Structure formats: structure tokens, C-alpha cells
């Protein structure tokens, strides 16, 4: 157990809809990162938040957005869902900035877009 939780576990949406995924980090962890993992691939970095500010972003379009809250929870929002957004979405928390510390991953949310 890493102490990082994600909800929901599974989600089915249709193309064009919007979705919000949630993550609860370990207490005291100021950094949260979000990843997209397609089947058979390694996780792809979406973005990272440090103390409620975005602190780095991968090659994902603006319809992927996030929020981090003072209570160590965070959200990933995806607008105008596309079929290729179907994937396992993982969040990871760490103590410091830039992922210099060990990252602790949640179990993920499996999103299916029909």
C-alpha cells in the first residue's frame, strides 16, 4: 500500500463527454504527477503540480487540465473525450519538487471511451 488512492476505479464514457478523475496523495507530499498508460505501453507524463501550481507538462493538449488542493487531493479533467483517451490514468505523489524523490503511485483509474 502506497497511501495514494484514486477514484473511480473504472469509468466508461462516450466520445465528446468530459471526465474528472480524482487522486488523494500521501499526507505531506507536495508534488502530484499524472500519467496516461495505454495498453502495453509505459506511462506517459501528462503534468505535475507542486503546491497547487502546474510545474511541468508533457505533450498533451489543453483539454487535459488539472487541479491540486491544499488537502493533498488533486483532479485530472479531460474535455471532449476521444477514443484514444482510453487508458489507465495514474497519479503519483512525492515529497519534493521535480520528482527527485521516490514517487508513490495510486492503483489507477481505467477509462474507456466508446
Partner 1 sequence: KQEVTQIPAALSVPEGENLVLNCSFTDSAIYNLQWFRQDPGKGLTSLLLIQSSQREQTSGRLNASLDKSSGRSTLYIAASQPGDSATYLCALLNRDDKIIFGKGTRLHILP
Q: Is the dihedral of CA 13, 19, 20, 21 positive or negative?
A: positive
Of 36 and 113, CB closest to partner 1: 36
* Cα separation, 48 vs 60, whole angstroms: 12
> Of the ranges 11-19, 43-51, 65-73, 78-86, which one interacts with partner 1 (CB under 8 A)?
43-51
* Cα separation, 36 vs 111, whole angstroms: 10
Of 19 and 46, CB closest to partner 1: 46
Residue count at the site for partner 1 (CB under 8 A)? 30
* Cα separation, 44 vs 41, whole angstroms: 8
Residues in touch with partner 1 (CB under 8 A):
2, 4, 6, 33, 35, 40-45, 48, 55-56, 58, 88, 90, 92, 98-108, 110
Amino acid at each position: 500500500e502506497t497511501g495514494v488512492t484514486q477514484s473511480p476505479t473504472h469509468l466508461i464514457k462516450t466520445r465528446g463527454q468530459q471526465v474528472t478523475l480524482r487522486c488523494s496523495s500521501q499526507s505531506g507530499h507536495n508534488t502530484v504527477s499524472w500519467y496516461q498508460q495505454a495498453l502495453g505501453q509505459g506511462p506517459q507524463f501528462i503534468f505535475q503540480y507542486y503546491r497547487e501550481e502546474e510545474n511541468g507538462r508533457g505533450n498533451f493538449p489543453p483539454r487535459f487540465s488539472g487541479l491540486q488542493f491544499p488537502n493533498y487531493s488533486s483532479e485530472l479533467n479531460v474535455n471532449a473525450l476521444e477514443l484514444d483517451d482510453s487508458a489507465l490514468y495514474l497519479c503519483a505523489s512525492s515529497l519534493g519538487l521535480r520528482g527527485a524523490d521516490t514517487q508513490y503511485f495510486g492503483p489507477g483509474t481505467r477509462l474507456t471511451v466508446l
